[in-house]
Structure 1
């Protein structure tokens, strides 16, 4: 009985040892690699570049005042359409006190000169009537009298202009600020009660309003130097406006800058394109947008996933399936690529299977 138990233990140990050895052997053997394949297919490939920028009016006009003072009244609001000549704002004048004092002094001086000229003119007029002086002598005093009257009128107008913004005979008022173009009011930087500075040779002055024609919009963006040589004026752009998802706009490229600028370490060139507006959607100024510029387009061409292409030096290959898990290398000639799929000009036909890489 003891011998039987001993034999049984030995057999059990042998079985465990052999089983372990078989398991370890099988585990050490690599499983055969199974490759998948992708079929060549026909599709449309569009090669394009993307320009990042914004949509803006072609022309924005800043309305400034010719006089300094306080904004008494604003007659428009942002978003309102105005015509050329419409009044934007009224300014309560705040003239320079030194200049005002000079204007008042000039008026008093002109009045005194006129009084003296009047007295002398009346005396010479009597002498001329009595034929005691010649006509030429009389005309000198008449001219001086007329000049002094004009000097008074000019001084009065100058003082009125400084105080009220208008002269006696003027049909235009300098403290009433008109729109210089027809368009939409984009911005009113200052509210009623704010002090503004006049435009002069010493400074641009305070902007009262910004106007723009919102029916003439352009896309303004930047293109990388590696792509700028592939685009030209007249090309069509497809605009993706971030605020209007799913509603693309088209535009026509009309300007490519001749000079590049450095942007985050790369050279980029500014472009502008005229936007074709939609009757249903309103494009606001400074909407951010991406523009797809179509560089090339091929329809109904044989293509494969670009990741399945093998590039060795200047040659291009694919591994074509010749049988179950059997592949052979074949040279191909490629065309355009959209970054995902690449056109196969020669070497493959639709339905040919190539190794998935």
Structure 2
């Protein structure tokens, strides 16, 4: 065998050895990967306990906070604003002076009306004297009947002019009073649209100078409730609401009235519900959005359990020990069931009656006292090395892995 042949065979052996080592290495790494990646499922029961709490059935809605009364204050005379005595958020009393207009022209009008009154009064008194004189002459047949009638008409006309002048003076004085703008109610200034030196003009649509809320110690909420829920709302019903400004803080209100005029929003018929609420701490402002829960029914200090426990239904594989006799007894009582583990570690039904529910708990009726401390099954937790999932209703074919035996508990 020549030297070249030996070299060729040596290279082949090296390549073959390298290929074998590579295949073995790939096999080993693949085995490690698949063995390590194989899920190690461990299914555990999730438990909960009974608790004593309040359970409420509610209807949810949103509304807007408003003062119980709002007055828009305008002006009935034109002029230049001379003084403004209040600002935003100021507390005012009824008849308190809050602004004045320039009164120069108005005072001149009063003086002119007084002069007109004096003039017409004198003229009227003169017509009275003239009528009295002509009545004496008519008695003595010195003047005609026409002349005496003309004197009487002059007297009546003079009196009418006197009354008109008196009305003109009253009007001038009233306009002067209008220049002194006063608050008609006790309340809080929530808007102001004038400044000193500004000219305001009275017209058929009086300009709004101030908006005063009738005190903010008491507020009202206008809430929209759709037609499917409005039948559950009654006058005097309690409600709880929150506002975004105070996260987690609850405020309380009472239904005052249900307005029958419908409002359609996005093809849904709604009705306005008006609620009264106290605001003694002045935390609430007009215009805030209230997230409201109308309390339809409330049970105070009752035995309850998590809603997850009421929804749990074990698969048939897990309750093979639940024999036909117990099933028949359960069906006969027409009760609801909770599930727990007995002393033998077997899933056992606990017949009860479900009462009202809220978004967290359900009232439990007919619970024996000796069962108060037991742990109730609320679901099955399915976990492996990579993921963890929770299953509340396990009455599906995916739970066949138990094959009649109990899953481990934690």
TM-score by length of structure 2 reads 0.60
Name which of structure 1's ranges 318-327 and 84-93 shifts more when overlaid on structure 2: 318-327
Counterpart of 2:397 in structure 1 is none
Counterpart of 1:305 in structure 2 is 308
Q: Is the 8 A contact 1:310 1:316 kept in 2?
A: no
Q: Are 1:39 and 2:41 counterparts?
A: no
Q: Are 1:73 and 2:83 counterparts?
A: yes
Q: Distance in 1 between matches of 2:351 and 2:311?
A: 13
Q: What does 1:226-245 align with in structure 2 at a 5 Å threshold? A: 226-245=228-247
Counterpart of 1:23 in structure 2 is 31
Q: Are 1:89 and 2:99 counterparts?
A: yes
Q: What does 1:207-286 align with in structure 2 at a 5 Å threshold? A: 207-214=208-215, 215-245=217-247, 247-278=249-280, 280-286=281-287
Q: Are 1:294 and 2:295 counterparts?
A: yes
* 1:305-332 deviation per Cα after TM superposition (whole angstroms, max 9, x unaligned): 26953599xx987776689998689998
Once the 2 structures are TM-superposed, how far is the Cα of residue 339 of structure 1 from its aligned partner? 2.7
Structure 1 residue runs of 5 or longer lacking an equivalent are none
Q: Distance in 1 between matches of 2:253 and 2:192?
A: 30
Structure 2 residue runs of 5 or longer lacking an equivalent are 1-12, 316-334, 381-390, 392-410
CA RMSD, 1 decimal: 5.2
Q: Distance in 1 between matches of 2:214 and 2:284?
A: 12
3-state SS in 2 of match to 1:166 = helix
Counterpart of 1:192 in structure 2 is 196
Q: Is the 8 A contact 2:101 2:179 kept in 1?
A: yes
- C-alpha change, 1:154 and 1:311, in structure 2 (3 Å) is farther
TM-score by length of structure 1 reads 0.67
Q: What does 1:105-184 align with in structure 2 at a 5 Å threshold? A: 125-130=132-137, 131-132=139-140, 138=148, 141-142=151-152, 144-145=154-155, 147-152=157-162, 154-155=164-165, 158=168, 165-166=172-173, 173-184=177-188
3-state SS in 2 of match to 1:36 = strand
Q: Distance in 2 between matches of 1:311 and 1:155?
A: 97
Q: Is the 8 A contact 1:71 1:91 kept in 2?
A: yes
Q: Distance in 2 between matches of 1:65 and 1:262?
A: 37
Q: Are 1:338 and 2:358 counterparts?
A: yes
Structure number with greater Rg is 2
